[in-house]
Amino acid sequence: MQNTAVIDDIGIDLRTGKAKITFLFDDKYILQEAEELKDKKLNVEATRWYKKRSLNANAYLWVLIGKLAEKLNISNIEVYKKHIKEAGTYTVLQMEEEVMTEFERIWQKNGLGWFCEKAIDEYGQVVLLAYNGSSSYNTKQMTRLIDSVIQDCKEQQIETMTPEELKSLLARWERWAKEVKRVRYLKKSKKRYGIEIIVVALFVENMWTRVMQMLIL
């Protein structure tokens, strides 16, 4: 039996001395199922309800970022970039310094989390750290990023999901990430095959022209 409900009353049963919690269920037809379970020992678990359409790992990340930003009196982007740097992913690139500015300009067009920073590598060379936005993350990367934000939220006494709720959220994110990866692969394959078809068509056209020329001669 599973349904949405709100807690109506909390107290102590005077006869048994046990905790007594009364729920008001949204579905009245649940009474029939409840009747079948009456007087039986049950495993009961009540978790906070979230709208299904908002149950997206990236959306939840931004909810927490918004709360942190309000608490710390800074912008959402500042909080986001801070955690992208601390827990996100990046690529180390070597290039001429005069090219870095143009590369960074193009890279940032991918989104807010796509930014670059200059750094010095172990050989004393200037390199560019190109960070990826969270929309491109796999489940492991997203977990690390959200955990980083949650840690700051706990320090600021901001309520977050339970570990079980977060696990379920990330499981859905994993399925979404796999689907996005599959679609991107298909688009890439379609583009590649399209180019191959054009090349073949041009080859056939060229061969047919040669044959016609030979027949004319």
42-56 residue pLDDT tens:
888 777 765 443 457
**What single DSSP character describes residue 40?**
S
- Of 92-106, 126-140, 157-171, the one with minimum mean pLDDT is 157-171
**pLDDT higher for 178 or 14?**
14
- What pLDDT was estimated at residue 211? 46
Question: Which helix (DSSP H) or strand (DSSP E) does residue 87 occupy?
Answer: helix 76-87
Where does the pLDDT of residue 78 fall: very low under 50, low under 70, confident under 90, or very high at 90 and above? very high
| Rounded Cα–Cα distance for residues 22 and 20 (Å) | 7
Helix axis angle for 139-155 and 76-87, nearest 10°, is 120
Where does the pLDDT of residue 152 fall: very low under 50, low under 70, confident under 90, or very high at 90 and above? very high
Domain range annotation of the chain? 5-46, 54-89+132-180
Answer for the pair 25, 46: CB distance below 8 angstroms, yes or no: no
Specify the pTM: 0.54
173-185 residue pLDDT tens:
677 667 666 666 5
| Rounded Cα–Cα distance for residues 45 and 155 (Å) | 27
